[in-house]
Structure 1
């Protein structure tokens, strides 16, 4: 079980990531994971511009963005709702993201990642994010919810392009309450 945001989010990471993970833990209410319907945008309005939700397609064969906040859409220079990650990134980068998302739903697990991305303006932008599964009680994950905090090296960033450099990835495998030790 993910019992505390500190189990996933490293020291020094933005507090909003901890706050978001704490909300997810609260909404899980002792279950393996909360359902998509358990997430109330009113409760997390402070984070909505940086939240994304992806829908699991064909058991994890693919993933489609169900929604993405304004700060995320800005980095892709337009709405990414309804798009697959392969629509947004080159094949190698898309495969890396899809691999992580599959682990989130299949294990199930949650992750934190710290990565740096080149942009169309030639500058780099740092993205710190958490990704957590959502699914019905007793069922497999059918969505992934995440929060991204961007730290631009400059105010003028440009669109994110492929070629991210990952600095840190942390995983917490989730277990049902009766499996927790």
Structure 2
């Protein structure tokens, strides 16, 4: 069960530039601490898909710097489409529902979260708490955020690189989140430009 008190403590640390509480559950499992960076430049990002999605999102921004969900055209996302996740913000950000869970992410992870909540993540609370903390931080700091994290060896994928981007509704609230998740190598090294 999701403990929003713990997640909000992680969120507050992220907003303050401190990742100690966010890293603690990873370190407790013998994993390296996750990497989280706000406003990365596209050329700082690994893989082809992450910088593609960030550039695309940046090109769609209106005069207020926002992107609306209806401006996202799936056909224009083809280079990253299988790695795209689209989430609806639920209950003022207490949870998020996967409207779209990329086919490649589902294939590689061996589960599909389409229609499910982040709190129901098949890999358990290590991943879901991490994702929820980042999403909840984005509601307060509506900017692109990059993350890298390891998962325990019993999970099919050892690490993920992600770019997470906000989408606003007509009332100026973040109503959806679009993210691109790309699996890392078995023992990846976070990109130098983004290392802690």
Does the TM-score normalized on the shorter chain lie above 0.5? yes
Deviation readout 1:116-166 (Å, 9 max, x if unpaired): 223546x65231110000012551100000111213429xxxxxxxxxxx9
Equivalent residue for 1:49? Answer: 82
Q: Does 1:108 align with 2:142?
A: yes
C-alpha change, 1:58 and 1:42, in structure 2 (3 Å) is: same
Equivalent residue for 1:150? Answer: 183
Equivalent residue for 1:27? Answer: 60
Equivalent residue for 2:91? Answer: 58
Q: 4+ residue runs of structure 1 moved beyond 6 angstroms? A: none
* Residues 32-181 of structure 1 mapped to structure 2, 5 A cutoff: 32-88=65-121, 89-120=123-154, 125-137=158-170, 139-153=172-186
Aligned-residue offset at 1:9: 4.5
TM-score for both structures, normalised by structure 1: 0.73
Aligned-residue offset at 1:66: 0.8
Partners of 1:12 and 1:34 lie apart in 2 by 21
C-alpha change, 1:93 and 1:17, in structure 2 (3 Å) is: closer
1:34–1:137 contact (8 Å) kept in structure 2: no
More helix by percentage: 2
Count matched residues.
154
Show structure 1 runs of 5+ residues with no match.
1-5, 155-165, 171-181
CA RMSD of aligned residues (A): 2.8
